[in-house]
Amino acid sequence: MQPLEYLAKIVKDAETFYVDKLGLITAFSSLSEGYIGVQLQNAQLILELEDEREYECGRYLEFSIAVEDINTFYQLRSKIAS
């Protein structure tokens, strides 16, 4: 698999997870450039692969969400959304 195809697959997998599993709405995306934007209530969140060659510009806030079991998280999230 070529690097660009691999990047596109990672972004598409992320989009599938955030949109299909978590129920977020895609606001914008570019598989070839490696990012996806999802719509939150009052904001848009961009998800992109980290490029170690780039430096932080101070314009974006970085954060991570970690869960012990993604399947349990998804099931609980589904119950709350119902």
Asked whether residue 23 carries a pLDDT value surpassing 70, the answer given is yes
**62 falls in which pLDDT band (50, 70, 90)?**
low
Give the contacts of 73 (CB within 8 A, at least 6 positions apart): 67
**59 falls in which pLDDT band (50, 70, 90)?**
low
Structure confidence at residue 68 (pLDDT)? 82
Pairing of strands 25-30, 44-48: unpaired
- Provide the CB-side half-sphere exposure for 58 (13 A, CA): 0
The residue type found at 66 is A
What is the C-alpha R_g of the chain?
14
Run of H or E residues at 14? helix 3-15
**55 falls in which pLDDT band (50, 70, 90)?**
low
**What pTM did the predictor assign?**
0.56
Structure confidence at residue 40 (pLDDT)? 86
